[in-house]
Amino acid sequence: MSTARSMWSPLGEPVYRALWIAAVVSNVGSFMQEIGSAWLMTTIRPEPLMVSLLQTAAYLPFFVMAVPAGAFADVIDKRKLLMFGQLWMLLSSLALGILSIYNLITPWTLLALTLMLAVGGAITGPAWNAAIPELVPKEKLEPAIALGGVGYNAARGVGSALGGLAVAKLGAGPVFILNAISFVGVLVVFFFWKPEPKKLSKHPRERIVGAIKAGFRFVRHSPALKAVLIRSGSYGACTSAMWALLPLIAKEELHLDSMGYGALLAIFGAGTLLGAFILPRLRSAISLDQVTGFGKLLFAGSLIGISNAQNLVTASLFMIGAGVSWIVVNSMFSMGAQKASPAWVRARALAFHILVFLGTFAITSAIWGQVAAYTGLDIPLMIAAGLLVLSLFLAKPFPLGIAEVIDTTMSDHWSDPKFSSEPHPNHGPVLVTVEYIIDPNRLDEFTEAMTSLSIQRRRDGAFQWHLFCDVSSPQKQLETFFVESWAEHMRQHERVTVSDRLVEDKVNAFHVGTNPIVVRHLINSYIPAELLKEITVEEQEAN
């Protein structure tokens, strides 16, 4: 299959194609809005801190809301959540446009409405990313992620150029109104999208608080996802220096107007398109970690070049390099997060990716603005370039490549436990014990294999895990783990993946007993008064 065909193959899926086109149109409007907001702030309050706070306002909601939004996306109907978020952004942009047209906008109003607009993005971000595997078959997932980046950054180029022109000719207010209109297409696609119904669980649906806790637990015990988060956070913290200060660099260092600033961002968008076509060739030649390292070095060099640029032409050359880096590195992070996350927790896992990347982006944008207020615009870019080079040393302790060998397909290989009468879903905690008979000469190997299994148990629901040895008979090994409720343990049965099964098979191969491995389920026999009352109420409602 050719590179071009591989890159564009997801567009053969009708719903993905309609959503991709609508998203490109919407993102064109969003980047027009970004140009309008940045240039409006440099006009009414041209201070480094205030201009950089626009980036903070645009990304802080992702830091605060991404994880709850991811939990909602995993627990409730993603389609409805996406429609609500798009409508929220439409109304926020419309309000910003009306206030601007009537000259009622102030620096703090601009920041507040930028924040409100970003709230809508935070609500929809995890659900949007988690919906991609539902729109394309598995073999098209990686090109679909890359193609999403191509569309986003093509929109950046077009939107930035149109935004600069529109702000110069019409002013910021009409640009904000155009952005509001751009959300209509996405709303229409989601309105008519009919996702395939999920496989119904036999157990009660997760509650939001429990779903958030499960998301935190998954991230804590997923080495592949933690590697993505640490690496993407370091990249976001360094690259935010350019985005936070670029409006002032364009105006004060390069002496550009809004059209020139838009052209600068359009050139960055062209760089991302170039990167999208280079990426498949890089992936076929070098590893995921090497691709990411190449991208980081390229952005570091671009930061140094931009800090020394004297005009639009020289700055544009380095913006192309920054654009190539941006699409290459972020595609690797997105792919790693997708591959590391099974379906049951995908939106929450992707929400953590959004939280870390855009959260560090928001926080460090304000920091770079404050540094620039004391040192000038060049020094922060030089510091960020140096830190970006140092971040290359994170590749060894936190390799991205481990996500590529994980198979997150649900395996359904756990059989349901036998019981005389099924416990109430909220009853717990539940103690699960697994008894193995092990060759004493292989205890060290067994213990090492159990380390991987312990991570899996904790990741999928256990809040405690232990391995005990019978002192009178060392070959008897007893694995124990606690789960907070019967419902949560039954969800564990639905969460095991093909990769999990391989780990379990490796552990089970150490069992040398004549009888099968013994698994027992013990539940707390004491029922607290609060739970007893809840059970009674539920039984009355059922009757």
* Tens of pLDDT, residues 239-284: 999 988 988 898 888 988 878 887 888 888 888 888 878 887 887 7
Same-domain pairing of 373 and 499: no
| 410, part of any domain | no
| Token duo for residue 387 | 């830190």
Domain count, the chain: 2
User: Among 405, 438, 463, where does a domain finish?
Assistant: 405
Q: Is the dihedral of CA 461, 464, 470, 475 positive or negative?
A: positive
Place of tokens 């929400």: 351
Tell me: pLDDT of 446 over 90: yes
- Does residue 419 sit within a domain? no
Average pLDDT score over residue span 2-23: 77
Calculate the CA dihedral of residues 358, 362, 367, 372 and round it to 10 degrees. 100
Give the pLDDT confidence score for residue 433 in this predicted structure: 94
Q: What would the pLDDT profile of 348-357 be if each residue is shown by its tens digit?
A: 888 888 888 8
Q: Tell whether 358 is covered by a domain.
A: yes
What is the per-residue pLDDT across 281-340, written as a single tens digit (0 to 9) for each?
Answer: 887 788 888 899 999 999 999 999 999 998 899 999 999 999 999 988 988 888 888 888
> Is 444 found in the same domain as 389?
no
Residue 219, pLDDT > 60, answer: yes
Q: Residue 447: which domain range?
A: 430-542
State the pLDDT at residue 5: 45
Contact status, residue 114 vs residue 100, Cβ threshold 8 Å: no
- Give yes or no: residues 244 and 365 share one domain: yes
Q: Same domain for 242 and 372? A: yes
Do 58 and 127 have their domain in common?
Answer: yes
Q: Domain ends where: 405, 438, 455?
A: 405
User: Has residue 31 been placed in a domain?
Assistant: yes
pLDDT in tens, 362-371: 788 889 988 9
Q: Name the residue among 74, 175, 168, 86 with its Cα closest to residue 123.
A: 86
Instruction: Return the CATH number at 151.
Output: 1.20.1250.20
**Cβ contacts of 405 within 8 Å, gap of 6 or more:** 499
**What's the one-letter identity of residue 73?**
A
Which position has the higher pLDDT, 451 or 154? 451
Q: Is residue 257 part of a domain?
A: yes
Q: What pLDDT is recorded for position 537?
A: 42
Domain with residue 491: its CATH number is: 3.30.70.100
State the average pLDDT for the chain.
85
pLDDT at 7 over 80: no
What is the DSSP pairing of strand 462-469 with strand 430-437? unpaired
230 vs 338, more confident: 230
SS3 446: helix
Query: Does residue 485 surpass a pLDDT of 80?
Result: yes
Statement to judge: residues 130 and 264 lie in one domain: yes
Confidence category of residue 198, pLDDT binned at 50, 70, 90: low
Average of per-residue pLDDT across 168-188 = 90
